[in-house]
Structure 1
Amino acid sequence: MSERLTWFKSSYSGEEGECLEVAPSSSPAGNPTIHIRDSKSPHGPTLHIAQATWTTFLTALSPLGSDT
């Protein structure tokens, strides 16, 4: 049986549908995973990355994580 995911998108996203949605989950081994999909295609393919990778990505995007 597959895990039911709860998808989230940014509150900054408009109604145009040009955004990504993310859903956290745990793998059978207990490793946290982030699922990413296109909001325009909710039944389309998803990207799966480790939670640590997602956290690094978000930190790099934040103003406090930048070198400039």
Structure 2
Amino acid sequence: MTPPVCAGLYIGSSFAGVNIGKLKRAVSPFLAVTNVVFFLLTYVTDLVLWILSLRQLLATYQLLL
């Protein structure tokens, strides 16, 4: 994990009084989903372009109302 994530886990475990191992197990599904989304947005460029075109389509639709 990157240093900001590790530092956040360490600080969060000390504030909550929870073992860092328990906190890491609890946070790992969210980190996995974040990594998958990051991978998709980085390597599947059509996905990013589709999101942008969808945003433009919705903006156009709002102007027509």
The alignment's TM-score, normalised by the length of structure 2, stands at 0.29
Q: Which entry has the higher C-alpha Rg, 1 or 2?
A: 2
Q: Which has the higher strand share?
A: 1
The alignment's TM-score, normalised by the length of structure 1, stands at 0.29
Structure with more contact order per residue of length (Cα contacts < 8 Å, sep ≥ 6): 1
Q: Which has the higher helix share?
A: 2
